[in-house]
Amino acid sequence: MHPPLFLGIDAGGTRTRALCADSTGAVVGFGESGPANMSGPDRDSALRHLREAADAARGPIGPQAIEAVCVGAAGVLSMPGPAERFGARLRTALGVPGPVAFLGDAVTAFAAGTAEPDGAVLIAGTGAVALEVRGHTEIAGRADGYGWLLGDAGSGFWLGREAVSAALRHLDGQGPGGRMVRAVLDAIAPANRTSGGVIARCMAEAPARLARFAPTVCEAAEDGDGLAREIVARAIAHLAATAEAVAERGRPLVLAGSLLAERTPVARGLDERLAERLADTPVLTAAEPVRGAAWLAGRVFAPHEAARRELHRRLTAA
């Protein structure tokens, strides 16, 4: 008899990824499709992309063989009722007999870093938020994650905004130039290097687009640009404070998101800061969120704690 099969799905604003695996931890396949924004207006498109990613992950295996599905998605924490209804729609669309669980993407990011039930997760990508997790799936505390207008300090957006602000000050004769400033101006206003031209271009785009300059800041900092290094240092201080607000000594703190999953100067500096400030707290880096979602779906098929931890190890191994 074949071991039970399950699906983990990471519903992102840029793309959707799915992983099909069995209860031994063997990965059957991966699938990918377009964005699936649960809180956006086009839920039919989101539903289609979720189904496409799931179908690609299970390949020739029929949907009736899938015994559990877990979806991690942004915005779920603020829409429990609609998420439950959407989960019922997705179960029908996928044609699976087992339950479909919709969880916040922070929960699946936490599960992608640890098999422990309790701890905290700090996510720094376009935005930044830290959440205290209990019992694998319950959110017990929060710091930041207030969005680009009110918070997300130290995030990719924040780095980009600080870089553009530095470029504006330079254009007005109030700040230094350097590699980072040149790169920002080359990208935004190559033919109109005035503060008015930069502002007009930025105002014409979605605010989150400023996050595209986060790699510019990190690369300039790596090359010794003093202004970029100062911005990175402030980002590290912000993110450390956000993490410390919810982290509990002795329980794992999982780092996730594009700024922290790779060895960026922000990630390296944050590791050093947390080692000083939270010396007895295990700091872990999350695997891909879809692997955390898969483990949350599949852990019910592990008969005991040791088996659940071994399943986690296998599923989250890159």
Rounded to whole angstroms, how far apart are CA atoms 111 and 134? 11
| DSSP structure class, residue 174 | S
* Structural domain 156-285, CATH architecture: 2-Layer Sandwich (3.30)
Token code pair at residue 129: 């938020």
Ranges of beta strands (E only) in 149-306 are: 253-256, 283-285
pTM: 0.89
Of 281, 278, 280, 240, residue with least CA distance to 260 = 240
Q: What is the mean pLDDT of the chain?
A: 91
- Which CATH number applies to 5-112+287-316? 3.30.420.40
List Cβ neighbours of 69 (8 Å cut-off, separation of 6 or more): 6, 7, 8, 9, 54, 90, 91, 94, 96, 98, 99, 100, 101, 297
* Span 83-135, pLDDT tens digits: 566 777 888 888 898 888 888 889 999 999 999 999 999 999 989 999 999 99
Question: 85: how many CB neighbours lie within 10 A of its CB?
Answer: 12
Tokens 């009722």 sit at which residue?
Answer: 81
pLDDT one-digit tens code per residue, 146-198 = 989 999 999 999 999 999 999 999 999 998 989 999 999 999 988 878 899 99
Most distant CA pair in the chain, distance:
73
3 state DSSP class of 285: strand
Domain ranges of the chain: 5-112+287-316, 156-285
Q: What beta strand segments (E) does the chain contain?
A: 5-11, 16-22, 27-33, 66-73, 100-104, 119-124, 128-134, 138-144, 253-256, 283-285
Q: How far is CA 299 from CA 25, 77, 115, 304, in A?
A: 10, 22, 10, 9
Identical fold between 5-112+287-316 and 156-285? yes
At 43, list the tokens: 């839920």
